[in-house]
Amino acid sequence: MTTDNQIRKILNKIDKTPKNKKIELNSKEIFGLGYKPLLETKANFIVMKGSRNSKKSVNNFRRAVLKLIGRVMGTNDPNLKCNVLVIRKYLTDHSGSTRKEIIKAIKALGLTDLFIIPKSELTITYKPKGTCFFFRGMDDVQSITSITCEEGYITDVIFEEAFQITNYDDVDKVLWSIRALPEPYYPQFMFMLNSWNEEHWINEKFFKPCPKNMEFTLEDYDQWKLAKDTNGKEGDITRGFNKWCEYDHEEFGRVLVGTCNFMDNEFVSELDLKRFDRLRHSNPDAFKVIGLGNWGVTEGNVFTHWKVKDFNIMEIIKRSVNPTTGKPTIKMFNGLDFGFSTSPTCFVNLFVDEKESVIYINKSWEQVGLTNPQIAAKLRVSGFREAIICCDAAEPKSILELRHQGVWNARAGDKLEIRDRIALLKSYHIIIHPSCTNVIEDFKNCIYDTDPKTGKPRLPERWSKDPSVDPHSIDAISYALGKLHKGGLSFD
């Protein structure tokens, strides 16, 4: 992708294009490799599934910004006024995800000075035309169907994290709420998701009718890696590896579907490439979903690559020391899940060996009825007074009380979605110390749910055989590793 200034020059050049003259945008300059169909399509429905590290979210939101300001309508007509509606399952999810991604896209395109970006409101306004991004949640469908634009029309609807939207009937209400558009406007509905469950309605409605095979094979990856290792990262082998298919759908009209993954991301880090490669060999089934972006879900237990084994963490740390720097490569992480009356507070101390892709669960405890001063005392006594401890971000008051009680580095952890927790933990071999009995039980009890309609496995709602019991240790682990998820093997 080009720099912010280069992109701004591209858009400034387009501004000088005479009205109604066809605009030619270079998809590589805007999106990088592999996304030309996304820029050029006029399909009514665009459905993108795939792995993280695939650029799909980044490029989709860049495209949304270009659509809002009139750059992908085919002409440079200044009178076109497009509004974009962005939807997640829950309204509250926007502030920490989609809204930030839109703002990042605006900045990346060098257009910040042309937008009004309030700190908290669920709109972002394009000043030259008065058109907007609207943010809504499927938890209040009525608020979606009642949107009125001050300028222009809602032309685009983006369903982000569409995997979470399990009821197609609610989606159908949104589709019917978008009013008929006069020419040259045309509606576009976009769905973006990670493809965890092949029984999802999106697969049934959009991918199964597709005349092209949209899945990748392990051989596809092996050939890509061989060519990359032979020709280098900038070789032709990284061009156009994403799978796209545009076809006529009986119910939805013109549809573009895509399967995207890290193989078309020229900016993926070498660390991530190594971790993907280790996953390909250590857990091929998980790699097909996590790495290649294929549909799928594994039957039975959610986690299979773990074992109980006695170990001495100090010996492991010594063995990990880099002879050049004299510093260990293994890193310590700590997570805390708050509880009280019926739900236990749970603490987990773990170490991550990135080189070997191993997580060592070293210490853990959980207890019901602990007040915050008691939690702090327990942490101090066990030697974690000065350690960084990532806690449930939904408890800011409790985190502050821990600091006042001498646990100075207690902080809010990143709370990952269930599918992201699964993806992160599946990318490691996990070794649990025998003393961590609560962690062992939680890993045993995490199984896939059964879809009552099909009888096939689907992602669990609570990860537990007993619906009244949550796997608190896995919640604590996810808080501890949230930063690692964002800075390490990124699935976006």
Last residue of a domain, one of 256, 290, 324: 290
Q: pLDDT at residue 126 above 90?
A: yes
Of 232, 261, 290, the domain-final residue:
290
pLDDT of res. 292: 92
Percent of the chain exceeding pLDDT 70 equals 83
Which one has a higher pLDDT value, 452 or 249? 249
| Rounded Cα–Cα distance for residues 98 and 419 (Å) | 17
pLDDT: which is higher, 445 or 421: 421
pLDDT at 435: 86
Candidate from 15-19, 56-60, 96-100, 306-310 with smallest mean pLDDT: 15-19
Confidence of residue 216 (pLDDT cuts 50, 70, 90): very high
Q: What's the confidence (pLDDT) of residue 132?
A: 94
Residues 87, 233 within the same domain = yes
pLDDT in tens, 149-193: 899 999 999 999 887 787 898 899 888 888 778 888 889 999 998
Handedness of CA 191, 195, 200, 203 (dihedral sign): positive
- Position 371, amino acid: T
- Tell me, yes or no, whether 298 lies in a domain: no
pLDDT digits (tens, 9 = 90+) for 437-489: 889 878 877 777 666 676 666 666 555 444 335 788 998 999 998 866 543 33
In a domain, 296, yes or no: no
- Is residue 163 domain-shared with residue 64, that is, in the same domain? yes
| CA gap 200, 294 in Å, rounded | 13
Q: Could you tell me if 281 and 331 lie in one domain?
A: no
Q: Are residues 270 and 371 in the same domain?
A: no
Q: What is the mean pLDDT of residues 218-244?
A: 75
Of 262, 290, 318, which closes a domain? 290
Q: Are residues 282 and 313 in the same domain?
A: no
What CATH number is given to the structural domain containing 135?
3.40.50.300
Q: Is residue 297 part of a domain?
A: no
Whether residues 354 and 392 share a domain: the answer is yes
Q: Are residues 325 and 239 in the same domain?
A: no
Please check whether residues 148 and 284 belong to one and the same domain.
yes
Q: Are residues 475 and 369 both part of a single domain?
A: yes
Same domain, 283 and 318: no
**Residues 370 and 448 placed together within one structural domain of the fold:** yes
Report whether pLDDT(310) > 50. Answer: yes
Contacts of 233 (CB under 8 A, 6+ apart): 266
pLDDT tens column, 367-408: 888 999 999 999 999 899 999 999 998 899 999 999 999 998
What residues contact 469, with CB distance under 8 A and at least 6 apart? 445, 462
Number of domains into which the chain is organized: 2
Instruction: Identify whether residues 404 and 273 lie together within a single domain.
Output: no
Strands 115-116 and 123-126: what pairing? Answer: antiparallel
In a domain, 492, yes or no: no
Give residue 210's domain range: 4-290
- Which pLDDT belongs to residue 237? 44
State pTM to two decimals. 0.68
In this prediction, residue 22 carries a pLDDT of 46
Share of the chain above pLDDT 90, in %: 37
Do 350 and 360 form a contact (C-beta atoms < 8 A)? yes
> Which CATH number does the domain housing residue 380 bear?
3.30.420.280
